[in-house]
Chains A and B, each alone.
Chain A
Amino acid sequence: MHPADPLLSVRDLRIAIGPVDAVRGLSFDVRDGEVLAIVGESGAGKSLTARALLGMLPRGATAAGSARLRGETELVGARRQVYAGLWGRRIALVPQDALSALSPVHAVGDQLAAAVRSVRRVSRKEARARAVAALEQVGIADAGRRARAYPHEFSGGMRQRAVIAMAMINEPELVVADEPTTALDPGTQRHVLELLARRREETGASLVLVTHDLAAVEEHADRMLVMYAGRAVESGPVDEVFARPRAPYTAGLLASLPPDLSPALPSAEPLPGRARGGPVAGRRLPSIAGAPPTLAELLPGCAFAPRCPLARRAEPAEPAEPAEPAEPAELADDDRCRTELPEPQRLGDGEREVACHRWSELPDRPAELFLENV
């Protein structure tokens, strides 16, 4: 163990579900005390990644590669006993669905107290007091009385608060929140995220926040990792990625948000046909064409290429214009989005990584590339 080792170091993580490669070589670090957001849509592999870190992969899924906690404890392929020693103490999960994380037949306070006693040798009374304190810390009023209530007597927001209290109660070093607010109504979502961020700060834990909510990322995360079809397409500090996305997928995703969402977007400047309050035509948003790929039917090359305006632009010209026969070398070069998997490359000081053959071709205002798609 080195003090210099990051809290979590993931290298070439691969997860297969049966014959389907769902995560295809993912590397990233989680540093002490930071919030790393893993962003992506369904099928991107973000939840599987989170589950693999916790040793909670679904049946039939297998992981390969490495994920080390503080340089020493290997999580990938670890036996259940290893995880049993880590859960709650060093790593904890905040799941999407609080109801499935809580037992329906035990009072909430008893479940929290049991979590305390699973880690520390303390008296029942002491564990009970800690449970009530933990509920108070997540803003549950009248915690002494509410601790005796059952999960079904809690609202969805309160249940999620209780689950956060449970994840934090033994002060783990790493908390993995897997779409922690998706099941909640929007007002509650904000409060629960704020609570999660506050408790993280108070305990000094690191947080991996798996989400597709870019507004939440902008507000709460320090760094972000953008996944597409089981690979990282881009990573870096949140404000830098929002201000200047380097991967076409990230650029398209950010450009397609309604303009109010993020003043940090370069596309907050009016784009042609994007003024608000005008005729209906002015409501057209930049958008990414097509749909996310089916993992079982991935083509060689970059998974985003079929939807990517840069890859499309580079498609070999139709024979309609045979003015200059392309050099064979040039053709091969143009084709690489469809033949060659882009590897992550470091940019500048190494804080940013992008996996795209054509990132340098992305214009300063990339939203314009996505205006044509309806």
Chain B
Amino acid sequence: MSPASALLDVRDLVVRYGSFVAVDHVSFDLAAGETLALVGPSGCGKSSTAAAVLQLHRPDGGEVWFDGRELTALDERALRPLRPAMQPVFQDPYGSLSPRCRIRDAVAEPLRVQGRWDRMAGPARVAELLDLVGLDPAYGDRRPHELSGGQCQRAGIARALAGDPRLLVLDEPVSALDPSLRAGVLNLLADLQERLGLGYLFICHDMAVVRHFSDRVVEMRDGRIVDER
């Protein structure tokens, strides 16, 4: 697939930590509206790949094309305006939100950071985002410890959606949730993908969830892709 048509195109990605090669010439692509799962044992390089895709850790080799732009060729300044379009959702819903911050401030923060906060329209936008993830906007006044794990994870997703992303990197988004809450969050992610055409890079070790939720699966081991299906 050419970089122009794929939402994300990763070519020969290399990530090193000192002399250790964590990601060894990994290539894959992802279309809008598609879910690509990255699977493999702990330490296989999937989270390093995800961090390099998001340019949270600048890769040591290879190219990352996102929405037709080569991220690996851009400096931090040029990357900044692109960052809202690719957002992570982390495993630990409590750990990914500041415990002291009210939910509505946590969701509003990306807008503020991007200089897109509008004092008149902002609160309504936050309420809309909370509603979008199935949270009663009244929960905006609460702090993370006053929410269940599932509600907290929904707030984390609302925060990721604040910058109108095109790509979400979902790093074990339901693994830390109670079993009775997992299906609800997976359903929400499926809904959002359908409504917003999001591309998902989905890191998960539960193969039953992966098979159910993903269009394609890339399996990694020791930093390399060992299987694609």
* Minimum Cβ distance to chain A for residue B200 (Å): 10
Residues of B within 8 A of A281 (CB): 190, 194
Residues of A within 8 A of B42 (CB): 185
Q: Is A292 within 8 A of B180, CB to CB? A: yes
For A, the interface residue count at a CB cutoff of 8 angstroms equals 33
For B, the interface residue count at a CB cutoff of 8 angstroms equals 30
Q: Is A258 within 8 A of B211, CB to CB? A: yes
Q: Is A258 within 8 A of B184, CB to CB? A: no
Distance A276 CA – B149 CA, assembled complex (angstroms)? 27
Q: Is B180 within 8 A of A288, CB to CB? A: yes
* Minimum Cβ distance to chain A for residue B185 (Å): 9
* Minimum Cβ distance to chain A for residue B34 (Å): 10
Q: Is A291 within 8 A of B148, CB to CB? A: yes
Partner of B212, one of A258, A279, A292: A258
- Interface status of B74 (Cβ within 8 A of chain A): no
Contact (A280, B190) CB under 8 Å given A186-B205, A260-B207, A285-B212: yes
- Interface status of A214 (Cβ within 8 A of chain B): yes
- Interface status of A55 (Cβ within 8 A of chain B): no
Q: Is B191 within 8 A of A253, CB to CB? A: no
Residues of A within 8 A of B205 (CB): 185-186
Contact (A291, B181) CB under 8 Å given A284-B187, A284-B190, A285-B186: yes
Residues of A within 8 A of B209 (CB): 258
- Interface status of A373 (Cβ within 8 A of chain B): yes
Contact (A287, B187) CB under 8 Å given A187-B41, A258-B213, A260-B211: yes
Q: Is A283 within 8 A of B180, CB to CB? A: no
* Residues 33-65 of A contacting B (Cβ, < 8 Å): 41-42
Residue interface mask B199-227, A partner, CB < 8 A = 1: 00000011111011100000000000000
Residues of B within 8 A of A287 (CB): 180, 183-184, 187
- Interface status of B151 (Cβ within 8 A of chain A): yes
- Interface status of B134 (Cβ within 8 A of chain A): yes
* Minimum Cβ distance to chain A for residue B186 (Å): 6
Q: Which residue of A lies closest to B33 (CB)?
A: A280
Distance A261 CA – B150 CA, assembled complex (angstroms)? 21
Q: Which residue of A lies closest to B39 (CB)?
A: A186
Q: Is A374 within 8 A of B187, CB to CB? A: yes
Distance A252 CA – B193 CA, assembled complex (angstroms)? 24
* Minimum Cβ distance to chain A for residue B190 (Å): 4
Q: Is A41 within 8 A of B183, CB to CB? A: no
Q: Is B213 within 8 A of A283, CB to CB? A: yes
Q: Which residue of B lies closest to A255 (CB)?
A: B183
Residues of B within 8 A of A249 (CB): 180
Residues of A within 8 A of B179 (CB): 41, 212, 214, 253, 256-257
* Minimum Cβ distance to chain A for residue B94 (Å): 12
Residues of B within 8 A of A257 (CB): 179, 183, 208
* Minimum Cβ distance to chain B for residue A70 (Å): 34
Q: Which residue of A lies closest to B148 (CB)?
A: A291
Residue interface mask B146-189, A partner, CB < 8 A = 1: 00111100000000000000000000000000111111101110
- Interface status of A88 (Cβ within 8 A of chain B): no
* Minimum Cβ distance to chain B for residue A359 (Å): 18
* Minimum Cβ distance to chain B for residue A230 (Å): 15
* Minimum Cβ distance to chain A for residue B197 (Å): 10
- Interface status of A172 (Cβ within 8 A of chain B): no
Of B180, B191, B194, B207, which is in contact with the most chain A CB atoms at under 10 Å from its CB?
Answer: B180
Distance A289 CA – B41 CA, assembled complex (angstroms)? 32
- Interface status of A109 (Cβ within 8 A of chain B): no
* Minimum Cβ distance to chain A for residue B60 (Å): 25
- Interface status of A151 (Cβ within 8 A of chain B): no
Q: Is B178 within 8 A of A292, CB to CB? A: yes
Q: Is A41 within 8 A of B208, CB to CB? A: no
Partner of B180, one of A185, A252, A260: A252
Contact (A280, B183) CB under 8 Å given A212-B178, A291-B148: no
Q: Is A286 within 8 A of B183, CB to CB? A: yes
Q: Which residue of B lies closest to A292 (CB)?
A: B178
Q: Is B212 within 8 A of A276, CB to CB? A: yes
Question: What are 13 A-B pairs with beta-carbon distances under 8 A?
Answer: A41-B179, A253-B179, A253-B180, A256-B182, A258-B212, A259-B212, A280-B193, A284-B187, A284-B190, A292-B148, A307-B180, A374-B134, A374-B187
Which 4 pairs, one residue from A and one from B, show the smallest C-beta to C-beta distance? Answer: A287-B183, A256-B183, A258-B212, A291-B148
Which B residues have a C-beta under 8 Å from some C-beta of A?
Answer: 33, 41-42, 134, 148-151, 178-184, 186-188, 190-191, 193-194, 205-209, 211-213
Q: Can you add 6 more A-B contacts, CB < 8 Å, to A249-B180, A285-B212?
A: A215-B208, A259-B212, A260-B207, A292-B178, A292-B180, A374-B134
Which A residues have a C-beta under 8 Å from some C-beta of B?
Answer: 41-42, 185-187, 212, 214-215, 249, 252-253, 256-261, 276, 279-281, 283-289, 291-292, 307, 373-374
